[in-house]
Amino acid sequence: MTSPPQLLTDPFVQLPTATSVRVVWFTEFAGYGHIVTYGENLAQTAIATTTQLRRTREDQNSRLENQTQDGQVYQHPVQRDIWRHEAEITNLTRDTRVSYRVTSVREDGESVSSNMFTLASKPSPGKSLKILLTSDHQIKPMVAANLQKVVETVGRVDAVWFAGDLVNTPDRASEWFDDHRGGAFFPCLQGRANYEMNSNGVKTIYTGGEIIQYAPMFTCIGNHEIMGRRDHGSLDDEFDATIPRTVALKLYGQESLKDNSFNTDTYEEIFTLPQSQEGGKTYYAVSFGDVRLVVLYATNMWRTPNLDAEARGRYREREKDFNTPENWGHGQHIYEPIAKGSTQYNWLVQELNSPEFQQAKYKVVMLHHPPHTLGGNIVPAYTNPVQIIECDVDGDIKAIRYEYPKDADYLISDVVPLLEAAGVQLVFYGHSHLWNRFCSQSGMHFLETSNVGNSYGAAWGDNKREVPVGYKEDYTELGDPYGLEPVVPTIVPLLGEDGKPMPYIASNDITVFSIFDTGTATVSSYRFDVRKPDSEVIKFDEFRLK
């Protein structure tokens, strides 16, 4: 008996304005008659526009249908046909929720509809909102539990801010839609996940939470939204094969520059986001209730800190690649310039001086790369790698290494002073898979709340970062490299082995989420121990924005 036809995702809402909002959903069939019915008795209809995703594929590392191990079904990347449907719902009344449902008709004439949800246009200034702060899902083991507990603890949120790294490999369709391990991106955020966790013989199924069917999501680009050079054997190899555009231009010329360097095509095709004239969807600003949210494109290629001869890493090239420049990784190269004088920097200056920003009650900046953290990913500095090639007396290469001058960190030197001067109250980011926060002398808060598993730990106590010895730069092994002390949670901090409160959570068993309540001006962080499925969610930290 075949299962009834289904939509690939539930609908979700995007890009609210004062009088409208977009509804988006996906199917595995082109179909026809894609509509949204909405309003009282679902009497009104909006017709959707359909586009096909151009780069979504599956490969030998997918976990889809019958493929439970690498290469069982797919031996190389194979195109996967997925269609995106989007309708604009107009003439909405502010702060009034409206029922809606989506319907698609298959080629065989069979109609498929979603459940009924509610949507709303952009909230009015003054309306109290609860906003979920999250990042770095990457189909990690605690995501479904995390999002299920969000809904169980605080109810329906009004928006989601997602600070990058939505999936692991952005062109792998199953990571977005239906990875059979049960924790794909959309199922977790739509309460359709089926992720099993086993603790001491007790199995618990987590379903995630119905969140984005009701609440718009604003995202930023992390390093896992970026695909590299095409045709490298597997999607993971393509993802790892990004090189700077300036290098690709020299090696391959102008033609197919994205296919020979990097792109964010799948990310941009999936989401309908606010746009700036300069950055499009990659960096933008949006007003939502009392908040002006400024979203930056600040991320670089993650490479291993390992210094072994076979490491194409942060600090060196592989020995076997010394004489094949097309195989160089070029260190942790930055994808989009943000240094003083760059297009993005100049746009940021303009935005910080705009009436929309200056008149907002809350001024928040979201980016992926951390300005301050105890995590490992803040080292080396956020700056362009300086390549140093060492040759022997015969002119043969004996080493290719990269230095990152700490005093040239673009976020610390150029961006953070701008934000301080403009009165930004909160800077929110991810990347290191932990929770920690900081506060500057001026009272600007820095929050990283990205602990859903695969934690890399915190550089604290005896746990030092893996940094090179004998390099020109002095790379920081412990603490925040830029001198801020982490804030110990204000309510119920976890205790370390020494019995002292810890200023962070870096765990593969305890998951964390944070809620910004605009009515009380507070950001509250909660933790849940997935080893104890019957335990309570604990609010462990709270701070107030000025």
Please tell me the distance from the alpha carbon of residue 275 to that of residue 272, in angstroms, as a whole number: 9
pLDDT exceeds 50 at position 296? yes
Q: Which residues contact 342 (CB under 8 A, 6 or more apart)?
A: none
pLDDT exceeds 80 at position 3? no
Please tell me the distance from the alpha carbon of residue 493 to that of residue 352, in angstroms, as a whole number: 35
Q: 40-58 pLDDT, tens per residue? A: 999 999 999 999 999 999 9
Residue in this structure with the two tokens 């009344």, named with its chain if needed: 93
Q: What is the mean pLDDT of residues 418-427?
A: 98
Q: 20-34 pLDDT, tens per residue? A: 999 999 999 999 999
Could you say which of 3.50.50.60, 2.100.10.30, 3.40.50.620, 2.60.40.10 is the CATH number of the domain covering 1-122? Answer: 2.60.40.10
Provide the 8-state DSSP code for 300.
Answer: B
For residue 278, is it left (φ>0), alpha (ψ between -120 and 50) or beta?
A: alpha
How confident is the prediction for the chain on average, in pLDDT? 96
Please tell me the distance from the alpha carbon of residue 164 to that of residue 156, in angstroms, as a whole number: 22
Tell me, what's the pLDDT at 4? 65
* Residue 62 pLDDT class (50, 70, 90 cuts): very high
Please tell me the distance from the alpha carbon of residue 59 to that of residue 74, in angstroms, as a whole number: 5
Q: 64-104 pLDDT, tens per residue? A: 989 999 999 999 999 999 999 999 999 999 999 999 999 99
Q: 444-457 pLDDT, tens per residue? A: 999 999 888 777 88
Please tell me the distance from the alpha carbon of residue 124 to that of residue 140, in angstroms, as a whole number: 35
Instruction: Give me the residue spans of the domains in the chain.
Output: 1-122, 123-226+264-544
Cβ atoms of 419 and 429 closer than 8 Å: no
Q: Which of 3-17, 206-220, 299-313 has the lowest mean pLDDT?
A: 3-17
pLDDT exceeds 60 at position 1? no
pLDDT exceeds 60 at position 489? yes
**Fold of the domain built from segment(s) 123-226+264-544:** Purple Acid Phosphatase; chain A, domain 2 (3.60.21)
- Whether a cis peptide bond, with omega within 30° of 0, leads into 503 is no
Instruction: Find the length of the chain.
Output: 546
Cβ atoms of 262 and 186 closer than 8 Å: no
Cβ atoms of 323 and 357 closer than 8 Å: no
Q: 181-240 pLDDT, tens per residue? A: 999 999 999 999 999 999 888 899 999 999 999 999 999 999 999 999 987 789 999 999
Tell me, what's the pLDDT at 160? 98
Q: Which amino acid is at 366?
A: M
Which of 103, 86, 124, 119 minimizes the C-alpha distance to 35? Answer: 103
Q: 310-339 pLDDT, tens per residue? A: 999 999 999 999 999 999 999 999 999 999
H/E element holding 100?
Answer: strand 98-105
Please tell me the distance from the alpha carbon of residue 249 to that of residue 364, in angstroms, as a whole number: 36
Q: 146-183 pLDDT, tens per residue? A: 999 999 999 999 999 999 999 999 999 999 999 999 99
